[in-house]
């Protein structure tokens, strides 16, 4: 079934234009991936699973979801909480730094909107994407309920996709994150780890070691993002190395991995080969990093993707 939902947090983004000016937008790892997937594969129903508030920015964010053709069935609104916010700055090499205000965001209360009937609205063959950030944002007191929710989805035949996406500041300790990641790998059908995401927690330093780490889990597909160098994939007992053409005009690396995830998953949902999916996803990531902000302008993005067969 051509339907995928991205669970996590979309935030209010403030990007410094100069010392006195900021541009306001919306971004977050799962939202970014959803947008890029929907742009490239509009026949795939793509939705968000998150919690917002009832304030003006939350309403504007929901409008933005709908403008991007994202399903909002599972976008809940908390009567008191508001979205998280972050400030992003990029240096001359395109590397970014962040300042966050998200500790009391509405998204942390997402599980409060999940009753026993919510999981029954998901169907066999659909996909649910979660990231390490998704796990960290869920309130610690709600994580047991979250695992039970994923277990129920698995029993209904929903495919679970996991990208570790480790952000140390979101966790109380590395040990807490490590336990959560291991649980997520255990439940996942597809994993999209980056080498750097697992290096700190599991002492893994290269893509081949990531494959070795992931293989004992019952994963149907492993996609290892090794920065700008290459992508390794492992599926059906076949290990493939995919060279990636480097990009010289790097402006902002904010959502390169998010774009890769979204386009890769869209391609695979539409039954394209792993080789084709990686190349399309790499093109998406390479295009996104040539523009400022998490969401690249639609016209140049579509032009670049059309040139490679989207």
Separation between Cα atoms, residue 139 and residue 103, nearest integer Å:
10
Which residues on neighbouring strands pair with residue 16, listed in sequence order? 22
Name the phi and psi angles at 126, rounded to 5. Answer: -80, 170
CA angle 37, 168, 209 (to 5 degrees): 70
Dig out the tokens for 1 from the structure. Answer: 């079934």
Dig out the tokens for 279 from the structure. Answer: 């190349």
Residue 156, C-beta contacts closer than 8 angstroms, at least 6 positions apart:
119, 120, 122, 123, 124
Q: Is 190 helix (H, G, I), strand (E, B) or coil?
A: strand
Separation between Cα atoms, residue 126 and residue 191, nearest integer Å:
16
SS3 string, 90-153, reads: ECCCCCEEEEEECCCCHHHHHHHHCCCCCHHHCCCCCEEEEEHHHHHHCCHHHHHHHHHHHHHH
Separation between Cα atoms, residue 69 and residue 204, nearest integer Å:
38
Q: Please state at what angle helix 195-202 crosses helix 207-214, rounded to 10 degrees.
A: 70
CB distance 204 to 210 below 8 Å: yes
- Name the catalytic one among 71, 197, 252, 258: 258
Q: Does the annotation count 142 as an active-site position?
A: no
Q: Which residues are catalytic?
A: 258
């Amino acid at each position: 079934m051509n339907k995928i939902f991205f669970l996590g947090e979309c935030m209010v983004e403030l990007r410094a234009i100069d010392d006195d000016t900021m541009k306001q937008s919306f971004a977050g790892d799962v939202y970014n991936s959803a947008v890029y997937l929907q742009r490239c594969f509009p026949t795939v129903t793509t939705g968000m699973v998150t919690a917002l508030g009832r304030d003006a920015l939350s309403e504007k964010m929901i409008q933005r979801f709908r403008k991007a053709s994202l399903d909002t069935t599972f976008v809940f609104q908390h009567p008191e909480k508001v979205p998280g916010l972050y400030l992003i700055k990029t240096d001359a090499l395109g590397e970014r730094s962040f300042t966050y205000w998200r500790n009391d965001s509405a998204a942390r209360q997402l599980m409060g909107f999940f009753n026993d009937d919510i999981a029954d609205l998901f169907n066999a063959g659909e996909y649910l994407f979660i990231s390490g950030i998704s796990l960290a944002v869920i309130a610690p007191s709600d994580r047991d309920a979250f695992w039970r929710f994923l277990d129920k989805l698995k029993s209904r035949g929903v495919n679970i996709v996991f990208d570790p996406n480790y952000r140390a500041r979101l966790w109380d300790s590395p040990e807490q994150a490590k336990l959560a990641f291991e649980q997520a790998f255990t439940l996942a059908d597809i994993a999209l780890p980056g080498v750097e995401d697992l290096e700190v927690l599991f002492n893994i330093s290269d893509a081949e070691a990531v494959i070795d780490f992931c293989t004992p889990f019952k994963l149907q597909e492993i996609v290892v993002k090794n920065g700008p160098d290459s992508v390794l994939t492992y599926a059906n007992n076949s290990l493939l190395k995919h060279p990636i053409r480097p990009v010289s005009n790097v402006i902002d690396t904010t959502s390169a991995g998010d774009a890769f995830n979204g386009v890769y998953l869209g391609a695979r949902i539409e039954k394209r080969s792993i080789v084709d999916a990686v190349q399309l996803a790499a093109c998406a990531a390479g295009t996104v990093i040539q523009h400022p902000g998490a969401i690249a302008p639609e016209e140049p993005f579509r032009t670049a993707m059309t040139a490679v067969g989207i």
